[in-house]
Structure 1
Amino acid sequence: MSSKIWSLTQMAGIILRRCASRTLLSPSGAKGIRIRGTNRDHWTTLRRTATTLTTGGAAFLLGVPTLSCLGYEAYHRVHGSAVVHALEKEEVLEQADYLYSCAETEKLYQLLLKYKDRQGELFPLFIDDAEFLWRLARASRDLSELPNMEDGRKKQLIFEGFEFAKKALEKDEKCFAAHKWYAVCLSDVGEYEGVKVKIGNSYIIREHLEKAIELNPKDATSLHILGYWCFAFAELPWYQRKVAAVIFSSPPTSTYEEALGFFLKAEEVDPDFYSKNLLMLGKTYMGMKDKQKALFYLTKAKEYPAHTLEDKAVHKEAVDLLKKLG
């Protein structure tokens, strides 16, 4: 019995050492990875593994002396597998978040596809996990946005992303990120389904963004996206408003002031988290005829480090708008 306990303890130590080696060699070091577009710090594998081993599966070692040998073997199999599964899931999600932070869109998509239908002993598929599914929805959507993407493939990825987001929501309706990416993917799908469907979806999109913010008021991206929703309807041309009024008795409406509130709140919870939020602040102030504040935020958007293709596009638009403002 004592040798079995020692072996499991030794195995846990080996896992910790391996994780420590990966952590020390990783660019993120011991400070955690700052994920773009979120307001969360993802801690290192070592810290997560230590927590898993001390509060989850490995904590059962304290109760081993009271079990028979047969009971111990069964307990060992179930809880040992739980530790391995927890480590596997945590590592996959951590790898995914790291690739997302580096804007490695294709690598991220391929990583998640690799694990999509993978199943461990006694455990559900990754595809049944909301945290995995919303990341896969996001990856599918991001891949569809890459330049030179063939139209048919782009459409396939957009609808695929929507299905993953929908399933994530079905698995866990308390997951704020599932609501957020469901809203984003539903908006993308609307581009292929006509004006009537697109406008009808707008109500649903806002509901899910509001739910995401309710579940996590500190998520800057949800606040930004809702601000963008408000901005889009605030600047809707009069003729499109008339079309919407024909289809719906009370079409969605908003104001620049409402959009501004969400963009500013996003900056409050996570300053300078996203180049496009700075750009949208500038554009919103332009819509409100506040030239001084528009210049301030457009300049910040122009000077934002361009790490991604979107950052570069933001930089270009900010430069063009600054020229117009003189």
Structure 2
Amino acid sequence: MAAGARNILRNWAQRLHCPHTRLTGRSFSSAAHTHIPGKFSLLKKGLALSSLSFLAIESYRWKCKHTVVYASIKVEDVKEQADYLHGSGETEKLYEFLSQFKNSEDPELLWRLARASRDLAQLSKTPADVKKRLVYESRDLAKKALELNESCSAAHKWYGICLSDVGDYEGIKVKIGNSYIIRDHFQRAIELNPKDATTIHLIGLWCYMFAELPWYQTKIAAALFAAPPSATFEEALIYFEKAEEVDPNFYSKNLLYLGKTYLQLKNKELALNWLCKARDYLIRTEEDKEVHKEATDLLKSFGEKV
């Protein structure tokens, strides 16, 4: 899951808290019925952002189908509209919108489409066969973004996330083998953007996963790899706390895992503190709902009033 993005994010968190963030841009001009030399006048002012409604996107899509579109679309405008839709939780609209640029050579558009594809896969209503297609599609898009720009922090992050999802379809050997690659991409993303709380959280999650790896999977890993991946709950805690330091309360799942990690370390007082924060986190996404339920169930197991 989230996919569940999303960008897994300071800007992401801000957009969720401020869904009516003002966007700027210019509207489309009318399409001419006669040939106009030079650049096509239809998109001469770039992608319309004067309206934040889906109608604007539909209008653009209709025009794309009925005219030749030249490279006059402003990438910055597309990115801004995509980030607005992402922050607003408009997963399906965002995927439709960005799918027009699936053949783009711009890594900023490709990793955003990878994120949208992955988020759509994470929706509970997405059929299993569609989910699988989207999982592989998101991986390929993120990989292409990386090939175009190795210095793109977000491309490293989303390639790591999407590669992890692919492991669910390819067995324990591939999943464990990919874990090294995933960790390396997360670490590279942090090198490029040390203030990305989401990626810091993801490395913490990586450590937590291997710290609690069932014994039989540990034996499988040891049999398959000379140096199987390993980590401790103490290492996971360092990353979860660092993520909160960089961006307090940015992500419900980070709060939950702080609580769970403290439980593993036998610190009940701090565990309950973080689990209460996770339970009380404002629910906006399906993942937030899952976090709320897990935190509530854990608190009940300790006799806490919920």
With the shorter chain as reference, the TM-score category is: 0.7 to 0.9
- Asked if 1:299 corresponds to 2:276, the answer is yes
Report the Cα offset of residue 116 of structure 1: 3.2
User: For 1:154-196, what per-residue CA distance to the aligned partner results, in whole angstroms no more than 9, with x for missing partners?
Assistant: 1100000000000000010000000000000110111111111
Report the Cα offset of residue 325 of structure 1: 2.3
- Asked if 1:38 corresponds to 2:9, the answer is yes
The 1:210/1:36 distance shift into structure 2, 3 A limit, reads closer
Secondary structure, aligned partner of 1:193: helix
Give the AA of the match of 1:270: D
Return the alpha-carbon distance in structure 2 between the equivalents of residues 130 and 325 of structure 1: 47
Give the AA of the match of 2:193: N
Return the alpha-carbon distance in structure 2 between the equivalents of residues 309 and 86 of structure 1: 37
Return the alpha-carbon distance in structure 2 between the equivalents of residues 101 and 86 of structure 1: 26
Structure with greater helix share of residues: 1
Report the Cα offset of residue 210 of structure 1: 0.2
- Asked if 1:108 corresponds to 2:108, the answer is no
Return the alpha-carbon distance in structure 1 between the equivalents of residues 124 and 291 of structure 2: 15
Identity %: 57
Return the alpha-carbon distance in structure 2 between the equivalents of residues 45 and 87 of structure 1: 16
Return the alpha-carbon distance in structure 1 between the equivalents of residues 259 and 72 of structure 2: 44
Residues 179-198 of structure 1: pairs in structure 2 closer than 5 A: 179-198=156-175
In structure 2, stretches of 5+ residues that fail to align are 1-5, 16-20, 27-37, 47-70
Select 1:281's aligned residue among 229, 254, 258. Answer: 258
- Asked if 1:160 corresponds to 2:137, the answer is yes
Return the alpha-carbon distance in structure 2 between the equivalents of residues 219 and 83 of structure 1: 33
The 1:167/1:36 distance shift into structure 2, 3 A limit, reads closer
Return the alpha-carbon distance in structure 1 between the equivalents of residues 177 and 227 of structure 2: 11
CA contact (8 A) 1:180 1:209 kept: yes
Select 2:204's aligned residue among 227, 232, 238. Answer: 227
- Asked if 1:97 corresponds to 2:68, the answer is no
Return the alpha-carbon distance in structure 2 between the equivalents of residues 268 and 37 of structure 1: 17
- Name the residue aligned to 2:35: none
- Name the residue aligned to 1:122: none
CA contact (8 A) 1:39 1:220 kept: yes
Report the Cα offset of residue 262 of structure 1: 0.7
Secondary structure, aligned partner of 1:139: helix
Return the alpha-carbon distance in structure 2 between the equivalents of residues 192 and 203 of structure 1: 17
CA contact (8 A) 2:101 2:109 kept: no
User: For 1:236-269, what per-residue CA distance to the aligned partner results, in whole angstroms no more than 9, with x for missing partners?
Assistant: 1222111111111210000001111111111111
Report the Cα offset of residue 148 of structure 1: 2.9
Residues 21-36 of structure 1: pairs in structure 2 closer than 5 A: none
Return the alpha-carbon distance in structure 1 between the equivalents of residues 214 and 98 of structure 2: 40
How many residues are treated as equivalent by the alignment? 253
- Name the residue aligned to 2:248: 271
Report the Cα offset of residue 309 of structure 1: 1.1
Return the alpha-carbon distance in structure 2 between the equivalents of residues 183 and 82 of structure 1: 37
Secondary structure, aligned partner of 1:138: helix
Secondary structure, aligned partner of 2:292: helix
User: For 1:123-149, what per-residue CA distance to the aligned partner results, in whole angstroms no more than 9, with x for missing partners?
Assistant: xxxx11111000110111110111132
User: For 1:188-213, what per-residue CA distance to the aligned partner results, in whole angstroms no more than 9, with x for missing partners?
Assistant: 11111111111110000000000000
How does the TM-score come out when normalised to structure 2? 0.78
User: For 1:78-101, what per-residue CA distance to the aligned partner results, in whole angstroms no more than 9, with x for missing partners?
Assistant: xxx998468621121111111111
Q: In angstroms, what is the RMSD of aligned CA positions?
A: 2.2
In structure 1, stretches of 5+ residues that fail to align are 1-34, 50-75, 118-126
- Name the residue aligned to 1:135: 112
User: For 1:96-117, what per-residue CA distance to the aligned partner results, in whole angstroms no more than 9, with x for missing partners?
Assistant: 1111111111111011013334
Larger RCO (CA under 8 A, 6+ residues apart): 2
Give the AA of the match of 1:39: R
CA contact (8 A) 1:220 1:267 kept: yes
- Asked if 1:260 corresponds to 2:231, the answer is no
Return the alpha-carbon distance in structure 2 between the equivalents of residues 172 and 111 of structure 1: 23
Select 2:124's aligned residue among 132, 138, 147. Answer: 147
- Name the residue aligned to 1:68: none
